[in-house]
Amino acid sequence: MNRLAGVFAANVTPFDPASLAIDHGWMRRHLAWLRARGCDGIVPLGTNGEGPAMSVAERKAVIDTALDAADGLAVVPGTGCASLPDTVELTRHAFAAGADAVLVIPPFFFKNVSDAGVLAYYQRLCDGALQPGQQLLLYHFPKLSAVPIGDAVVAGLAASHPGCVAGLKDSSGDFESIIHWNRLFPALRVFAGSDSLAAQATAAGVAGTITAGGNLIPDLLQAVRQAVLAGEDPTPAQAQVNLVRGWLERSPSMHAATKFLLTRFAGLAQTAVRPPLVDLNDAQRAELAALAGSFVQ
């Protein structure tokens, strides 16, 4: 599991603007571009990848393309669904296809569920989908899922299914939340889901980052990481990361902004988001284009 470390892109899924079909050729080109710019791994079908907007069959196809085109990148597909059977099916498929691990958000339709219920979901998943040596990353994103992963869930899984949980991605945006996992569970490989906290989290000992910015500036995120690991000043690279992350956060849609900026950063064709997400209008694209045009790495 030493491949579960470093700079990971929470990579977007390209949808054809006319048909909204998945553009697998675009995806392959994006992965090659990420690989050439120092990305260590990819996380398809997570939040940025619009996984919940796809059918199980479509998600399987994305997993297959990601693994076929990875060419050395670690691949950790997002397999979490609101339905436990769908999560089991996708997780089995991901591992059969050769995934390094899977990222699993808690079931997100029912709110105010207990830690016992979330724990039972993950326990059933481990029983139904994991073979010896296969591991998952828990996905803590309470602002989106509204179902947090509590300490009791992690402790319960460690007790009932030792070795099944490789680590956790924390997308809370809260530095104290990110680092508290390693304090309580030192064996976890914790990933920060916040570009703006890359330097701080790396200095605190996290395994890596899984972020939206990884789609666009993996080289800068890698510069931040390597500076911290070498005992050098990560501030200049982190400042550039923060600049791009700010563009995404101020946009009406981070997903749409990321896809548009890839036309400027990577020379990729414009792709769409799927409803209920909405693409940027002409004025919003023009604003981002001006920002991207003035950006110098």
Query: Is 260 contained in some domain?
Result: no
Q: Give the rounded distance of the alpha carbon of 167 from its chain centre.
A: 13
Over residues 197-238, the pLDDT tens digits come to: 999 999 999 999 999 999 999 999 999 999 999 999 999 999
The confidence score (pLDDT) of residue 263 equals 97
Query: Is 78 contained in some domain?
Result: yes
pLDDT of residue 287 exceeding 70: yes
Which whole number is the average pLDDT over 120-125? Answer: 98
The confidence score (pLDDT) of residue 255 equals 97
The confidence score (pLDDT) of residue 295 equals 83
The confidence score (pLDDT) of residue 6 equals 98
Q: How many domains does the chain have?
A: 1
The CATH code of the domain that includes 66 is 3.20.20.70
Query: Within the chain, where are the H helices?
Result: 24-36, 56-69, 84-97, 115-129, 142-145, 151-160, 175-184, 198-203, 218-229, 235-250, 254-265, 282-293
Q: Which domain does 109 fall in, by range?
A: 6-234
Query: Is 115 contained in some domain?
Result: yes
Query: Is 28 contained in some domain?
Result: yes
pLDDT of residue 1 exceeding 80: no
The confidence score (pLDDT) of residue 143 equals 87
Query: Is 281 contained in some domain?
Result: no
The confidence score (pLDDT) of residue 48 equals 96
- Is residue 152 very low, low, confident or very high in pLDDT (cuts 50, 70, 90)? very high
The confidence score (pLDDT) of residue 297 equals 61
Query: Is 273 contained in some domain?
Result: no
Q: Name the nearest CA neighbour of 81 among 112, 52, 54, 46.
A: 52
Over residues 12-27, the pLDDT tens digits come to: 999 999 999 999 999 9
